[in-house]
Structure 1
Amino acid sequence: MYMTMIQTVVTTISTAFYSIHNDPWADEILALWVPLAAYWIYSMMYHFLMLAEIPYFEQYRIHSSEDISKRNRVTIKRVLIMVTLQQLIQVILGALILHPIHPQVMIAQQEQTLARLVSYSLKFLNIFCYPWIVSKEQAIQLAFFIANSLYWMVIPSIQFFAAMVILDTHQYFLHRLFHLNKFLYKHFHSHHHRLYVPYAFGALYNHPVEGFLLDSVGAALACELTRMTPRMSMIFFTFSTLKTVDDHCGYYFPWNPLQFLFGNNVKYHDIHHQAYGIKTNFSQPFFTFWDKLLGTEMTNNPRDTKKQSDKAN
């Protein structure tokens, strides 16, 4: 009875979350526009916070408000135009690679996969757990629970994590190349570094060629290689979009999960936007392992280190 209740809860929650619509294009359309909406909603929250200059939040601000106008080499209007252009390119690319499947076909594929997982689970239970299984009905019940857990939770979690690693790998090496190659930096990547003081809605301010290669192609590769469903792709695109916006938001909040759960956060990436750190911290948007492995990591702002040294003396 207890196992049946758990299985029902897992199946109900998961099915509601990953359910198949009658419209074969529904999830694909969501995967296109939900990340865009997330980008502007989240970035505008930070923008209004920046304009309000509320004392409590200002203590967590990385740069002063005057730095935006003094140090940045691009106007806000230009940033808005280029970000909109990049997002238009993302939508076009997404529409080209979409491959909607009829709901009935998807349901059949789902049932076949679940049936295989149930079969594998039964074999596993028969081999390793036979002495503790009271009856055949109990074994089948447990096998269904394992299969549903694998299908709805474990496999999507593995896909999601693998996509994060793939995107990080793609962006690290391409990002580093855009810095090391003088032609690529001068004509493409230097656009993004006109923002010495990053702000939230400037997260996707790039040259269109770089935006396409670095962000659009990277995200598309991550989803295609991990064989995510359109619904999972939407969740991944949205999460990576929120993370990218947060990395450029200009505020380091100790309670922000996107900042304290990831070493690659707004403080880490801000170092990369400064002259002293421009050849370091290429990793984005999730992890820092490539910087650590290849010796391109800078964790301390030299100015902060100097201030601490002066205080000590």
Structure 2
Amino acid sequence: MVFWEGYVSDGVMGTFAPIVVYWVYGGFYQLLPPLDNYRLHTRREEEEENLVSLSDVVKSVLLQQLVQAIVSLFMLTLEANGSGVIEQPSLPIQIMQIIVAMFVLDTCQYFVHRYMHQNKFLYRHVHSQHHRLIVPYAIGALYNHPLEGLLDILGGAISYLVSGMTARTAVVFFCFTVIKAIDDHCGLWLPGNLFHLFFENNTAYHDIHHQLQGFKYNYSQPFFPIWDKLLGTFMPYRLVKRPEGGFEARPAKETVQKS
């Protein structure tokens, strides 16, 4: 029994809950006070270095979420149109399905993301849009070219299908994925952040990728750096305190692997 049962279907919830979570959680970060002592980049760097306005970022994300909603609604409601009532698996099976989906999504994201960087045409005309946010921030997590956004959506669909999860389990998985992606782009190193404790692939890890020296490293997202480590594109980070406050994520150059 879940709180939305009897009000909306699992398919509808799985479609729209991640979108609502994106704007609520991303908006929370966006509305925080400056928190200069926890920022990975100064506010001046964010204002001067980013090549796209906040309004354009919002428009682009909304467009991607429109496509996401169409694909998700079709995919997740197929389950409801099947024969009989879908039996929800036990909690251990659901957890295993989510773990499988995490690895499948990471695999899709890594190889698409890496190829976007290696293919000059695709980088110039598609992926470079995301890197217009040289200093990432929370609601820019899904700021992508529409083609790349579609590929990300297909990666999510593949992870859902391969894992065998139900639409109800998918609500949890996709909401968690959205929260993790936002946290990776938030630009803040807040004390007690559980993502920083349990995930090596985190805010600082992804910030390295947005830097010039990390441009061809740290492709993995959103969960684990496994593919980076296996294929030689892993660049670990170290945090350095800035004299004026806050932190800077720097490559730990002595342990960088060669790609």
Q: TM bucket by the smaller chain?
A: 0.7 to 0.9
Structure-2 residue corresponding to 1:46: 29
The count of corresponding residues between Structure 1 and Structure 2 is 242
Structure-2 residue corresponding to 1:105: 84
Distance 1:65 1:166, change over 3 A: same
Distance 1:300 1:36, change over 3 A: same
Q: Which amino acid aligns with 1:295?
A: G
In the TM superposition, what whole-angstrom CA distance separates every residue of 1:105-162 from its partner, at most 9, and x where no partner exists? Answer: 11xx63xx9xxxxxxxxxxxxxxxxxxxxxxxxxxxxxxxxxxxxx421111110000
Q: Cα RMSD over matched residues? A: 2.2
Q: Which of 168, 176, 179 is matched with 1:231 structurally?
A: 168
8 A Cα contact 1:271 1:301, kept in partner:
no
1:160-175 residue pairs with structure 2 within 5 A?
160-175=98-113
Ranges of 4+ aligned residues in structure 1 off by more than 4 Å: 19-23, 301-306
Aligned partners of 2:74, 2:189: CA distance in 1, in Å?
38
Is 2:62 the counterpart of 1:84? yes
Q: Which of 211, 220, 224 is matched with 1:287 structurally?
A: 224
1:265-284 residue pairs with structure 2 within 5 A?
265-284=202-221
Structure-1 residue corresponding to 2:129: 191
Distance 1:292 1:239, change over 3 A: same
Aligned partners of 1:43, 1:299: CA distance in 2, in Å?
26
Aligned partners of 2:206, 2:250: CA distance in 1, in Å?
17
Percent of aligned positions with the same letter in both sequences?
Answer: 42
Aligned partners of 2:44, 2:199: CA distance in 1, in Å?
28
Distance 1:235 1:30, change over 3 A: same
Alignment TM-score, normalising by the size of structure 2: 0.87
Aligned partners of 2:6, 2:164: CA distance in 1, in Å?
21
| Structure 1 unaligned spans of 5+ | 1-15, 114-150, 307-313
Alignment TM-score, normalising by the size of structure 1: 0.73
| Structure 2 unaligned spans of 5+ | 240-247, 252-259
Structure-1 residue corresponding to 2:257: none
Is 2:46 the counterpart of 1:63? no
Structure-2 residue corresponding to 1:200: 138
Structure with the larger helix share: 1
